[in-house]
C-alpha cells in the first residue's frame, strides 16, 4: 500500500520533562498510533524532553502512571529514528548512560538488534528538523 499513498516525514518534537505535564505521555500515545500509517517517523528529544528517556523512573511517590517502559517498545512499532540533542544532554549533566538503550530489530539484516537512539549535535539536529514535512510539538 505504501507506494500508492503519500509518505511524509513526520517529526514528533519533545521538549518537556515527563510528569510535570501530560505531553510526554500523549506524545507516546500518538506515536504508537502513527506507526500504523506507513509514514516516515522521527522522534526528537531536546531541551527538558531528554528527561523523558531517563532510566529508573519511579512514579510510586507521586501517584502517577509510569509510562517510561513504553519507549523500549517503540522498536517493535518500527520506529527507529530517535534523536536526542547532544547539547541538551550536556547542559543537564546527562550522558547516554543515564538514558534507556533503545533498539529495534532490522528485518533486512536477519533481525539483528540495532540502536534506534542517536545522539546528534545541534547542527545535525537542525538539518533533520528542517527536512521534515510535518512537525508535531509536545
Q: What's the CA gap between 14 and 24, in Å, rounded?
A: 7
Q: Which of 111, 8, 96, 5 is nearest to 53 (CA)?
A: 96
Neighbours of 93 (CB within 10 A): 7
Q: Residue 61: which residues within 8 A CB-CB, separation 6 or more? A: none
Binding mask 44-83 for other proteins (x = CB under 8 A): --xxx--x--xxxxxxxxxxxxx-x---------------
CB of 109 to other proteins, least distance (A): 28
Binding flag, residue 135, other proteins (CB under 8 A): yes
CB closer to other proteins out of 93 and 107:
93
Q: What's the CA gap between 108 and 90, in Å, rounded?
A: 34
Considering CB under 8 A, how many residues would be counted as binding other proteins?
57
Q: Which residues bind other proteins (CB under 8 A)?
A: 5-6, 8, 10, 13, 15-23, 26, 29-30, 33-34, 36-37, 39, 46-48, 51, 54-66, 68, 91-93, 98, 122, 125-127, 129-130, 132-138
Amino acid at each position: 500500500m505504501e507506494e500508492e499513498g503519500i509518505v511524509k516525514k513526520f517529526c514528533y518534537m519533545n521538549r518537556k520533562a515527563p510528569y510535570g505535564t501530560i505531553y510526554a505521555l500523549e506524545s507516546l500515545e500518538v506515536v504508537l498510533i502513527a506507526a500504523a500509517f506507513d509514514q516516515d517517523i522521527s522522534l526528537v528529544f531536546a531541551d527538558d524532553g531528554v528527561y523523558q528517556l531517563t532510566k529508573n523512573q519511579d512514579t510510586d511517590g507521586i501517584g502517577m502512571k509510569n509510562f517510561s517502559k513504553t519507549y523500549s517498545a517503540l522498536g517493535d512499532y518500527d520506529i527507529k529514528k530517535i534523536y536526542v540533542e547532544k547539547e541538551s544532554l550536556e547542559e543537564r549533566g546527562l550522558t547516554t548512560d543515564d538514558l534507556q538503550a533503545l533498539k529495534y530489530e532490522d528485518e533486512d539484516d536477519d533481525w539483528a538488534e540495532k540502536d534506534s537512539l542517536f545522539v546528534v549535535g545541534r547542527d545535525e539536529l537542525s538539518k533533520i528538523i528542517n527536512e521534515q514535512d510535518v512537525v508535531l510539538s509536545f
